Every structure is written in C-alpha cells, then in structure tokens.
Amino acid sequence: MTDERLRKTVYSKLVAALALALMLALVSLIDPGAMPAGKLGGSRAPGVVIDPGHGGYDGGAQWGDVLEKDINLDISLQLRDILLAGGYRVALTRYGDYSLVEQAQTKKREDMIRRLAIIEDKAPDFIIVIHCNSMTSTRWSGGQTFSQHESEQGLELAKAIQHYFREFTATKRFASTLDHFLLRESNITGCLVEAGFLSNASDRELLQRPDYQRRIAAAVWLGIERYVRQRKEIEP
C-alpha cells in the first residue's frame, strides 16, 4: 500500500467512524423518510433531496448481474444516513427498488416528472442525483460530478464534491457540466454524481462494496459542507 493509498484509507476510516458515531447518536430521533417542514435557509440545517437513478423495471447500466439501480440506491441510503447524522433534512425520490411509474410502457419521462414533483414538494437546498457510468470501452474509470450547464453554484458544489472524490478515491477526473432534466427543471443547486464505471473491472468491484459506497457518500457529504462554508465566506 503506497503512502497515498494509506492516507486515503485512513481518511476514509476516520470519516466513516465519525459518521457512524453521529448517526448512532441521532438516528433514534429522526424519521428517515421525512424531511421535517420548516423554513429553509438562515441557521437551519440544509435540506437535501437525493435521487437514486433508475429503479424497478429500469435497471440502468448493467454488467453481468450487476445493476446500476442497486448501486445507486445503496450509495444514496448511505448518503442519507450520513447527512441525517450531520443534522441535515433529507428525502429520497425512491427508497427501494421501484420505478415511480407502474409499467415500463409509461416511459422514462413520466418517471422523471414524478421525481421532479417530489423534489419540488420538498423544496430542498440541494439535489444530489446518483448514477454510475458505463462505456463500451473498459478503460474509463473513476467517480465524477456534473452540474447543470450555466449553474455557477451547481458547478461550485460539483467541484467541492469532486475535491473529496480525488482525496478519497483513485479518480483523476474533474467536475464538469451537462444538461440534466431534474437539475434543469428544478432550478435548485445540485449535481449529478457518476460514482464510477460499471464497465471497468476495478470500479465495478469497488462500487459493489459497502465500504467504498460509504466513501463516495462521505465525499458527497464533505463536499456539501465545503460548499456551504465557501458560500458563507462570500455571503456571511
């Protein structure tokens, strides 16, 4: 194990231990399914809606029997626990392996519209959309964050999260931008997390491991914290 890898492992273990301690202290007080009503902003803890990509009939990217929808949900649930432990208000667009539409024929768009309705109902400060990548070439690897084109705050958030991806994982990627239905239509600061590539053997093995999923989740959490801190410096 190189010094670099050792450092990442130590960071990861520290973050996981901290998150777990916080979670154990707080979890009995919180209903994990609900985002308590209240005014956003000010000194209140931020509200976050997490969108685990795909679900139900829509498995997302697939490699053998590894389905993207399952990994997206696992990472999202780990992120939920960490954020709740940190005092955030959290909701998910789905909590299990289901689509938000009953049948495949009702199309992806309707599923996305229902996810958007959940986000608009919760009116969070942030949205985190969780996916995994897949390519025909197996050489691409590493986690990457994306913000909506022209969203300056979204890009700031994506960069803050990417900073911790680079700190805690082997990724050499940088934050980038794209056009994404939920980020665009909700107009809420957020980013899409592509946690890694199912088409890459090493990523695929890591992405199925709970400790690696927790590392990704912890990086997202610390990225949000970093973003909030940076905003406070600009607008105290």
* List of residues contacting Zn ion (CB under 5 A): 53, 60, 131
* Min separation Cβ 88 and Zn ion, Å: 24
Q: Which residue has the tokens 């949205």?
A: 127
Shortest distance, CB of residue 91 to Zn ion, whole angstroms? 20
Distance from C-alpha of 114 to C-alpha of 22, rounded to nearest angstrom: 32
Shortest distance (Å) from residue 54 CB to Zn ion:
6
Q: Strand 126-133 and strand 190-197: pairing?
A: parallel
Nearest distance from C-beta of residue 186 to Zn ion, angstroms: 18
Specify the residue, 195 or 222, whose C-beta has the smaller distance to Zn ion.
195
Q: Rounded to whole angstroms, how far apart are CA atoms 54 and 93? A: 10
Nearer to Zn ion, 19 or 75 (CB): 75
Instruction: End-to-end CA distance of the chain: give it in Å, rounded.
Output: 42
DSSP state of 198: T
Least Cβ distance, residue 51 to Zn ion (angstroms):
10
* Whole-Å CA distances, 233 to 53, 120, 230: 33, 28, 5
Q: 52 or 86, CB closer to Zn ion?
A: 52
With b for 16 or more beta-carbon neighbours within 10 A and e for fewer, the 28-50 pattern comes to: eebeeeebeeeeeeeeebbbbbb
Q: Computed from CA positions of residues 200, 202, 208, 214, in that sequence, does the dihedral angle turn out positive or negative?
A: negative
Whose Cβ is closer to Zn ion: residue 62's or residue 230's? 62
Residue 60 vs 196, nearer CB to Zn ion: 60
Residue nearest to Zn ion according to CB distances in the complex: 131
Residue closer to Zn ion (CB basis): 156 or 194: 194
In whole angstroms, the minimum distance from the beta carbon of 60 to Zn ion comes to 4
Other beta carbons within 10 angstroms of residue 173's beta carbon come to: 17
